[in-house]
Amino acid sequence: MNNVWNKIIYKLGAPFYDVFFNSGIFLNARKKVFEDLVLPKKQQVLFVGIGTGADLCFFTEQDIQITAIDISPSMLSQAKEKTNKKMNIQFLEMDAQHLAFSDQSFDMVVANLILSVVPDANQCMKEIIRVTKERGTIIIFDKFEPKNKKLSLKKRLLRPVISLLGTDIGRNFEVIVKPYKEQIIVQQDIPILFRDMYRKITLQKIKRVSS
């Protein structure tokens, strides 16, 4: 996978994305991800890979500042249609692997269905942690290789084919996050969809202790 190919895929898929990933079981999964969401006023929230804005409906009544980025102009165009006048939000075309924000800019980062589609998930995770404030929250909803299990033979065979559609069904979250384990605490890691294929993972960035 690479960014050029992903842009092509998401330009073609943008008109149909909500039909598959913002309805039915996926909509129910998104509801589970955000069912306990309560944010203090004036929080700075970043959506990394906003897509068509499927998650924005869970933030419409929050008095917060939202920044939403995506590499696909087609996806951003659809996301903008899901906003209302009450929302304080800006949309930016940006690569999730190279976030153009200062360190510790956001109280919360939402990274849904992004680590499985970027070319370099480790670099993306590094950037997400970097821009999150100390004691800030990172919410991840994505598909990963099951914990303490190997991919089934069927999935291993399908993996290179599915990657042509711009997503990887075999990434290992524990491997992705391992280099940054001293910077974060895993607060929650629960299966959300298709048994344990799709998981909700909540992280908190650790406050550094001054020496």
Cα–Cα distances in Å, from 189 out to 37, 174, 201, 202? 16, 11, 4, 7
Contact yes or no for 181/203 (Cβ under 8 A): no
CATH number 3.40.50.150 given to 3-205: yes
Sign of the C-alpha dihedral computed for residues 107, 25, 114 and 99 taken in this order: negative
Distance CA 14, CA 32 (A): 24
Bridge-based pairing state of the strands 184-193 and 198-205: antiparallel
Cα–Cα distances in Å, from 137 out to 57, 75, 115, 186, 191? 19, 25, 16, 10, 19
**What is the predicted pLDDT for the residue at 13?**
77
Q: SS3 of 157, please?
A: helix
**What is the predicted pLDDT for the residue at 57?**
92
Sign of the C-alpha dihedral computed for residues 162, 163, 166 and 169 taken in this order: positive
**What is the predicted pLDDT for the residue at 6?**
78
Give residues with Cβ within 8 angstroms of 108, minimum separation 6.
39, 43, 44, 45, 46, 132, 136, 137, 138, 139
Distance CA 63, CA 40 (A): 8
Residue 130 corresponds to which amino acid?
R
Distance CA 144, CA 196 (A): 8
Sign of the C-alpha dihedral computed for residues 103, 60, 116 and 13 taken in this order: negative
Give residues with Cβ within 8 angstroms of 207, minimum separation 6.
134, 135
Q: What is the pLDDT along the chain (211 residues), one digit of tens a residue?
A: 677 877 787 778 788 788 878 889 999 999 999 999 989 999 999 999 999 999 999 998 778 999 999 999 999 999 999 998 889 999 999 999 999 999 999 999 999 999 999 999 999 999 999 999 999 999 999 999 988 888 888 888 999 888 888 899 999 999 999 999 999 999 999 999 998 899 999 999 998 866 5
Cα–Cα distances in Å, from 18 out to 80, 87, 96, 172? 14, 21, 21, 26
Contact yes or no for 199/173 (Cβ under 8 A): yes
- Domain map of the chain by residue range? 3-205
**What is the predicted pLDDT for the residue at 148?**
81
